[in-house]
Amino acid sequence: MTANAQVMFGLSPWPEEAALPAVWRDLDRALWRWVRTHGGDPLLAELAGWASHADGQGHSALPLMTPPAPYPQWDPQALAALQHSPLVTVPGVSDGGPPRPFVLDAGMFYLYRNYRAEVDVAQALRTRRMAAQPAQYPPSEADLRALFHGRWTPEEALQRAAVAQAPGRRLLVLTGGPGTGKTTTVLRMLLALSREYAARSGADLLPQVRLAAPTGKAAQRLGDALRQGVARLAQAQPPLPADWHHHLQALAQAESATVHRLLGSRARQGGFAHHAGARLPADIVVVDEASMLDLSLLRALLAALREDAVLVLVGDADQLTSVGTGSVLMDIVQALEDDPRDDLVRLQHCFRADATLVPILAAVRAGDPAAFQRALDQAGAVARWHPVDTTATLRRHLQAWAETLARTLTAAAIDTPVAATDAETLRQRLALLRQRQLLCAQRDGPFGAVQAAALIAARLRARAPGWGERWYPGRSVMITRNDPAARLYNGDVGLCLPVDIGGGEIRLRVLFDPAEQPVADAAPPRLFEPDLLPPHEDAFAITVHKSQGSEYGHVAVLLPPDVESPLLSRQTLYTGLSRAQHSLELWSSPPALARALHTVLHRHGRLAARIGGG
């Protein structure tokens, strides 16, 4: 191939490519080359590369007027000339014709797919908001008292409001921190929605309810929690009026799945079985941990829903945003707060018996260092801050953590074989995974989850001689690639233990929770041969991102000491600490903590404005 042909197809560097930003990825450079090859001028190619880089950081658009670091400042006159480029669309100016690869809109530069996703999501949400109708069967005060076990406390006022406001709406958003009763409220909202559906059907029909979350673990937790809630309501004292039991049955059989499975992901083929031309057969869809939704997945979900279906989004808007593009729950909550229509409820009261950690999380959300320190001091032994700023200090803490974990495993008799048919003991073993967890802000490097997990694993291997180097009782692993045939998915965590497989034959097996299914309580934990697992890694330490959707009795959060790390943010710290149910530790240098409390992650885009009609 000649040099000219190589340049034409973007396979060899342009002369000016050597000066491209060092932070760009190969993908960013490839898009820069594509623009130059297809007639774009140097400025457009530069903006395309930066827009690709921004997309890789989770932003849906590149801000042009007052770009923050690391973006350069661009000349306004040169930017104005972009609207005449055949590769750029300016809404309202250059509409019509086939889509162009880039969009210039309200001071933002978009890759076309992100622009289209933002517009489609905003339009679908606006349509759902406007489709709200007066309820045919609004919950009365007597209904609310019955659903809340006869109580009428001020602490539950927002929960009652969410239930009362649900019927008649096509979009409902419920947000709040840990322990604020989101799942409890969702159950009662679903009962009110089920009764409303029956009233509108005119035949007392029950709705088809689907439960979903971005990860399998979160979907399973939602399904289990709602089924347990249904069982408690069915046996509540004073008893729930008989006419509600009909609707409890519908919720007891509600299936839970990841959003991808709900939509019928075609995996490598791309796309979903359910879309605008083949709608999802569901009357009510609940999506938990909605902060983990990215822009494209929410777009696909909204396109697949029938217009008359009800969408309930549940999550903590203060948590980390998705790994993918956008900050959809945060943007939706902002838009609905700016234009209140009773389709958003933000729960605030923590109902946990031990509310010691609540002031700590409140201080993190507020970014208040003084309040954070006061809350730590008042928490006593329940919450500890350990200054960790060197690898030597970190190693000492990891050794102590591993020793505690080893004692926990020994006390649980992890080396004692369990019969493969002993479901109750297997469940008790699985509960060990939820007792304590080390969470790291970053994955790689000396302060990352991979190295931390390796150091802990080395100590635990030493306490289990005779079992081999890779597999031993007490090893916890996380699946890193989906295996639909085995029903194991990225993020699933399993525990290795000796199992009596029959006839006194002992083999190591890896124990996982029951797969997603309508009635998880009836299914025993699942056992797999270690060598047949899909790709996996040690799970003694995992990233904060991977921990979303899970809770642990005790949590330690490790922050990197590099104050320039983009992972030091209020959302990272809040998400990690809020995984703790009873107690926590923070491993961080003072400067890193200060930086995390000061820094608020903000993703560039206009979704909130578009939902509001802007």
* CA nearest to 207, candidates 199, 215, 219: 199
List, in order, residues 6 or more apart from 323 with CB less than 8 Å away: 58, 292, 294, 545
Phi, psi of 5 (to 5 degrees): -65, -40
SS3 assignment, position 526 = strand
183 among annotated binding-site residues: yes
CB 312 within 8 Å of CB 586: no
Give the angle 94-98-104 at the CA atoms, nearest 5°: 40
CB 456 within 8 A of CB 473: no
Cβ–Cβ under 8 Å, residues 349 and 179: no
Is 177 assigned to a binding site?
yes
DSSP H stretches of helix in 443-519: 449-462
223 is in an annotated binding site: no
**What sign does the CA torsion over 376, 157, 308, 119 have?**
negative
- The residues, ordered by sequence, that sit 6+ positions from 192 with a Cβ below 8 Å of its Cβ are 139, 143, 147, 163, 164, 166, 167
The reply, when asked if residue 181 is annotated as ligand binding, is yes
Quick one: which of 518, 124, 116 has its CA closest to 306?
124
Residue 483, number of CB atoms within 10 A of its CB: 16
Question: Closest by alpha carbon to 44, among 32, 57, 56, 54?
Answer: 32
* Alpha carbon distances (Å) from 88 to 46, 76, 105, 159, 237: 14, 16, 10, 47, 64
What single-letter amino acid sits at 584?
L
Tell me whether strands 552-558 and 436-440 are parallel, antiparallel or unpaired: parallel
Q: Residue 180 annotated as binding?
A: yes
Measure the CA–CA gap between 371 and 366, rounded to whole angstroms: 9
Q: SS3 for 94-121, per residue?
A: CCCCCCCCEEEECCEEEEHHHHHHHHHH
- Report the binding-site residues for ATP: 176-183
- Report the binding-site residues: 176-183
